[in-house]
Amino acid sequence: MSKLRAILIANPKGGSGKSTLAVSLAGALATSGQNVRLLDLDKQQSANAWLARRPADLPAIWSFQPNQSTTDKSGWLIIDSPAGLHGKNLERALKMVERVIVPIAPSLFDMEASRTFLDALKTEKAIRKERAFIGMVGMRVTPRTRVAQVLEDFLQQHELPILTHLQDTQAYINAAFDGKSVFDLPAYQTQREREQWIALLDWLQQ
Ligand SMILES: Nc1ncnc2c1ncn2[C@@H]1O[C@H](COP(=O)(O)OP(=O)(O)O)[C@@H](O)[C@H]1O
Ligand SMILES: [Mg+2]
């Protein structure tokens, strides 16, 4: 029996790359022919604004509303969330999902805030009972820089999977203007970006 597979994208900091990760993941799954819904819990509505710009001839991504129920339990639900998601709202979101992806940008402030968040996340019932699993993503990383190494060392300290590092590149920014993900751009232009997603997409299939 198929079931709806829900993924929460969360990080306490604004600008850590949650919305970019959420719409890119939605794009990756949609362009591989899967049924994808996108739920935007952030008041800023970045993911929904992106979706509103999405050209109709691209693989469809369906908008999903908070409290919407669905009888179609197949495919994916990607949930973009606001900065500082905590307490009851975090608990409620965790009840919906089987995976939480935490994008972490390589700055002292992002890493410190993420440390506190990851520690809190690990104490949540859904995580403790292994109903939902956490994966971390290095976000906006320029390879072979000092900060890339600092971030890697930080991520290694947690006993959590490091899914991938997504490079700091204009491709994400340019694609978003047109309601596209990097997976909607020509493959020859986005080969490096696509390669960096393989391990993350594999983890979702496990
Ligand atoms: N891998 C990346 N490369 C380049 N720019 C990025 C990348 N990820 C995010 N950004 C940019 O960083 C800013 C913050 O990202 P965003 O996804 O809006 O974060 P959040 O949703 O966590 O606030 C945006 O301007 C976005 O375009
Ligand atoms: Mg956002």
Sequence spans of domains, the chain: 5-205
Q: Measured from the CB, is residue 114 less than 6 Å from ligand 1?
A: no
CA separation (Å) from 30 to 62, 110, 127, 138, 184?
A: 10, 30, 27, 23, 9
Average pLDDT, the chain: 96
What are the pLDDT digits (tens) for 135-155?
999 999 999 999 999 999 999
Contacts for 22 with CB less than 8 Å, ≥ 6 apart: 9, 38, 40, 47, 78, 79, 80
Q: Contact at 8 Å (CB) between 30 and 103? A: no
Of ligand 1's listed atoms, the one at least distance from the Cα of 173 is 27
Confidence of residue 70 (pLDDT cuts 50, 70, 90): confident
Q: Contact at 8 Å (CB) between 136 and 115? A: no
Residue carrying the six token digits 């993900």: 181
Q: Which CATH superfamily is domain 5-205 in?
A: P-loop containing nucleotide triphosphate hydrolases (3.40.50.300)
pTM beyond 0.85: yes
Note the pLDDT of residue 185. 98
Please name the residue whose Cα sits nearest to atom 15 of ligand 1: 17
Q: 92 phi and psi, to 5 degrees?
A: -65, -45
Please name the residue whose Cα sits nearest to atom 10 of ligand 1: 17
